[in-house]
Structures are given as C-alpha cells and as structure tokens.
Amino acid sequence: MTELTALTLTDAVEGLRTKRFSAEEITRAHLEAMEGARTLNAFTVETPDRALEMARASDARIARGEGGPLEGAPLGVKDLFSTEGVETTAGSRILQGFKPPYESTVTANLWRDGAVMLGKLNMDEFAMGSSNETSAWGPVANPWRSRGSNASLTPGGSSGGSASAVAADLCLGATASDTGGSIRQPAAFTGTVGIKPTYGRCSRWGMVAFASSLDQAGPITRSVSDAALMLRSMSGHDPKDSTSLPVETPDFTQFVGRDVRGLRVGVPREYRVDGMPAEIEQLWEQGVAWLRDAGCEIVEVSLPHTRYALPAYYIVAPAEASSNLARYDGMRFGYRAGGGTLTEVYENTRAEGFGDEVKRRILIGTYVLSAGFYDAYYLRALKVRRRIADDFDRAWETCDALLTPSTPTAAFALGDKDADPVTMYLNDVFTVPANLAGLPGISVPAGLDANGLPLGLQLVGRALDEGTLFSLAGALEQAAAFRAKPERWWS
C-alpha cells in the first residue's frame, strides 16, 4: 500500500484513469498512512467517511468513462478553507466547533474536478506564524529531522500541516495559503513544491481571511507537475470574490518541461542578506548554474526597496488582520466566554479565544490604524509597498523571472525562535516581497544542507505568468534531481 501513497499526484491520476487501482484503494492507503502518522499532528480533522464516499463516487465516474482532471485523487485541505459541514477553525480556539454552511470556492473546484478530501490540515492560528507553533491544536512536526538527531523540527508555517502531510506521503497534495510566505517557506522546509500564484488567481471566497490584500491560495505537492495540475483546478475567476481576476486559467501542466533556453533570469543583488548561511548562498549559486546550463540568460537586477518589504508587511498585514478578525466576537458563531457585561464578554472571548501571536498582531494592527498614526504607519507602508512593486516592474524590463533562496535557513527546532517575534518574522524575508506586489512565486526543493535537511529555491515571476515559473521550476527540478525522502520515524 505504501506504493500508492508514494505516487506523485500526476502519476496517481493517470493510474486511476487507467484503472490500475481504484480511488477507494488509494484513499484507504492514505487513510491508513494518516492513522499511522498522528504523531506528526498534521491533520486537525480526519474525514475518512467522507473520503471513502467521495472515492466510491469517483470510481463510479471512472467506470462510466467520466471523471475530472483530479478524479479520485486524495488531497488534504488546510484548515483555512471552509468545508461545508466539516469543522473549520483556522487553527484557532475561537472557531472551535465551527461548521461552515458553505464550501470554499477553491475546495469546491477541487471536488468538481474529482478530488477526494482526506481531512483538514493543521496550521498556524489564522495563518499567522512561520513555524506552526501558533496553532491552538499544537505544533506540527516536520517529517524531516537533522541527521543523527531526534529533535522535533518545525515544518514551517503557516501551512505546516499541508507541507508535513505532503512530505510524509499522507496525501498526494494539499491546499495551502500564502500571505507572506506560508506556502513557499514550509515547502522549502519539507522538500516539497509550493506555489503562491498571482494575487487574484485563486478565489478567496470561503477562505478564512488573514490579510485580504495579500492572502492567496496555492498547492503544496511533491513535484512541479503536480503543482501545475493542482493549481489549474484551484484557479479560476469567481464572481463572489471582487479581487478575483477575470482571466482564463491556462493549462499550467503544459508549461512544465518546456525549453527554457533564452529566458532571462534575474538575480537580485539585495537578497544577499547579512548572516545568510554559506550553504544557502552556495545553493543559490548552484541554482543559477543549473539555469544557465539549461540555456537561460542570467542577469543581475536590483530591487532596492526589497529590504523594506518585511517592515511594510508587518504594518499592512496586521492592520488588515485587526479588522478581518473583528468578526470573531462570540456573538454569532465560535467560542463565547463568560462575563458580566457585553464588553467583558467581547474582551474575554477574544482574550481566551485568540493565541498570543494573533493578539499581538491585532494590537499592532489596531495601533497603526488608530487616530494619529494612520499616516505615519499605514499610509507610509502602502507607499513603500508601491515602491517595492515598482522595483519588480523595473526588473521585468531586463528579466523574465527572479531566482532567490526560498528561506534564509533550513528548518529550525520547535521552540527555537519563540523569544523574539522579529527573529521569527525574518524567516519571510525572501517571500514577502512577492505578496506585497501580488506576484507568483514558487519554491522548488533543490538540495540538502549539511544536516540532511531540505532547502528550497524560489522563482518569482510577472503577474499572471505562472507558465514561465512552471517551465523554470521544471528545469530546476530536473537539474536538482531531488529524490531524498525523510526517514519514516513517525510510524
């Protein structure tokens, strides 16, 4: 049965279509794997009954010669996506027991295309975190461990459950979301592929909001082709989301394996940050060499405002979050605490329902929007955001995509970066600029560090040009030939 869970999504879909195995078989294999991997704490809710029901329906469609592009493929769903009748908490106690009466557009698209839901995946609370430690349901463990160590490592965040489950072969792919790097950083930490598409490519309808102008859904998978396949199903214009782009979804899978000769790849000099480990630096140079060998033209570019992306992000995201999370007040759904007066009930509900990081960001967001500070903080951050986006626009005059490391380090130990929030925030230094500018970014596993932990390279492209990213990511994947798998210590 392990064979079935080790397949790529692309191969599994092909095996299902050609009836080499049934959807029920591959679903059962995954349900078993999930059961054996509970110590990873990747799933918050397992939905075996629904999974088997969906799998049997897929088998019936396949038998009739019907079936969508993901027919019968068992997937995991980040708990940020509303799933009708299935508890959706976004990793927060304040949403404990909440069962949405609706299905998010992204997951509905996956089910439309035949995918099977295995369950909901753990995450940082409201997607605020880079280590999965802010989840109300406990941290997720990375299937990867440092060579010769039993210490539990973070799978990254906020889509830590998604990355861990995909890396541990608990699902063929998983939905994830990325506000400042929450797809790409965990993908890099777990040796998986993660793409954050152009802002507006995937509908945000039914996805619990963190920072509306930055949040974007995307897949975490085990190959670039898988990412292309899954993103194609997740994408599409949604009239229910005003920020959803009214554009056609290309067949992203067609771009993987395309010739990349002549593509110009920019290397932004400002991404050489202080204190970056030599291994990361070397990996980056290796990535440049691989793409050069594949026929790309390498150009050095400058993104002078990129160093301001993180501080700008830490104003914009908390500001939006402080308002987005106001609806969690204990009045209509979710957790309600006790209290003598209405104000006490509000304050206790939110004090007890939210974790420390979420509260910290709400306070910062509230502060930067409050009277007297709006111009100095929020408005200034939006102007810096424009500067950052303008930098990218200038870069596109001389290159077609950018190559950078995905993260400044490999996976770190759980509890390692608790002390200082800013140290934790620095994890997102390479990923945040693409969110601010709304650009697509993909992380591809590129090698292992000295401890045997995976490292990723990131490609950032023009808006709506995921195609070029998939071609370049395919070239990197081929050159890197990353085959390593974590040791199966959890079962």
- Of 60, 63, 379, 484, the one binding other proteins (CB under 8 A) is 379
Tell me which of 92, 104, 177, 182 is the catalytic residue. Answer: 182
CA atoms of 8 and 298, how far apart (whole Å): 31
Site mask for other proteins (CB under 8 A), range 38-77, x = bound = ----------------------------------------
- Of 30, 120, 350, 417, the one binding other proteins (CB under 8 A) is 350
Is residue 14 within the footprint of other proteins (CB under 8 A)? no
Is residue 123 within the footprint of other proteins (CB under 8 A)? no
Q: Which of residues 387-416 bind other proteins (CB under 8 A)?
A: 387, 389
Residue 200, token pair as written in the block: 């507006």
Please indicate whether residue 131 is annotated as part of the active site: no
- Of 224, 315, 395, 410, the one binding other proteins (CB under 8 A) is 315
- Of 71, 79, 329, 477, the one binding other proteins (CB under 8 A) is 329
Q: CA-CA distances (angstroms) from residue 39 to 44, 143, 407?
A: 12, 10, 26
Shortest gap between Cβ of 209 and other proteins (angstroms)?
Answer: 6
Is residue 377 within the footprint of other proteins (CB under 8 A)? yes
Strand partners, 194: 220, 443
- Choice between 6 and 345, CB closer to other proteins: 345
Tell me which of 22, 58, 131, 158 is the catalytic residue. Answer: 158
Please indicate whether residue 370 is annotated as part of the active site: no
Q: Which of residues 233-292 bind other proteins (CB under 8 A)?
A: 239-243, 245-246
Cite the DSSP H helix spans in 37-159: 48-63, 105-112
Q: CA-CA distances (angstroms) from residue 63 to 4, 75, 77, 204?
A: 20, 21, 26, 34
Tell me which of 22, 78, 82, 223 is the catalytic residue. Answer: 78
The one-letter amino acid at 328: Y
Shortest gap between Cβ of 34 and other proteins (angstroms)?
Answer: 25
Q: How many CB atoms lie within 10 A of CB 304?
A: 14
Strand partners, 443: 194, 458
9 membership: H or E segment, kind and range: helix 9-17
CA atoms of 83 and 160, how far apart (whole Å): 19
User: Which one of 23-31, 333-341, 398-406, 446-454 is the stretch in contact with other proteins (CB under 8 A)?
Assistant: 333-341
- Scored b (16 or more CB within 10 A) or e, 168-182 reads bbbbbbbbbbbbbbb
Helix (H/G/I), strand (E/B), else coil: 184: helix
User: Which one of 57-65, 210-218, 266-274, 402-410 is the stretch in contact with other proteins (CB under 8 A)?
Assistant: 210-218
Cite the DSSP H helix spans in 126-260: 160-167, 184-190, 224-234
Please indicate whether residue 120 is annotated as part of the active site: no
Residues forming the active site:
78, 158, 182
